[in-house]
Amino acid sequence: MAADNNILKLAENLSGKITESEEYLNYKKYSEELEKQPDLYAMVNDHRRQHFMLQNNQNGRVSYEEYNNFTAKSEELRRSELVSNFLDAEVGLAKLIQDVMRAVMSKVDFGTDFLD
């Protein structure tokens, strides 16, 4: 169990480093600014929800019409500099976390061959 505690402490340290990163600080900055505009914040969250659903439903397959509708709404929302900055910051943070997970999992044989 001592090794487990060391791993958890390392994970806590990593979490702390992530919250100090430029990616996280940008995300928090734009998130807090966006929250000050509840209507816009709600629209952005609806957009984020739709994006998540499109990516995670139907094995990533979406109809041309769904894609076009989503893209048009995305372009309209991104006309707001704040929304665009927030969404870019969100992608930056997600990429950082994804890179961290890849680095961790690159050394761990988790037996995921069954997914191929």
pLDDT band, residue 116 (cuts 50/70/90): confident
Cβ 46 vs Cβ 70: under 8 Å: no
DSSP symbol at 43: H
Q: What is the mean pLDDT of residues 38-44?
A: 97
Residue 115 lies in a domain: no
- Convert the pLDDT of each residue in 7-35 to its tens digit: 999 999 999 999 999 999 999 999 999 99
- Convert the pLDDT of each residue in 82-103 to its tens digit: 999 999 999 999 999 999 999 9
- Convert the pLDDT of each residue in 45-73 to its tens digit: 999 999 888 888 766 577 888 889 999 99
Residue 114 lies in a domain: no
Number of domains in the chain: 1
Q: With 90 as the cut, is the pLDDT of residue 37 above it? A: yes
Query: For residues 114 and 3, what is the distance between their CA atoms, to the nearest angstrom?
Result: 29
Q: How far apart are the first and last CA of the chain?
A: 33
| pLDDT for the residue numbered 2 | 60
Backbone angles phi, psi at 112, to 5 degrees: -100, 15
The range of the structural domain enclosing residue 59 comes to 23-105
Residue 113 lies in a domain: no
Torsion angle defined by CA atoms of residues 33, 19, 4 and 109, in that order, rounded to the nearest 10 degrees: 90
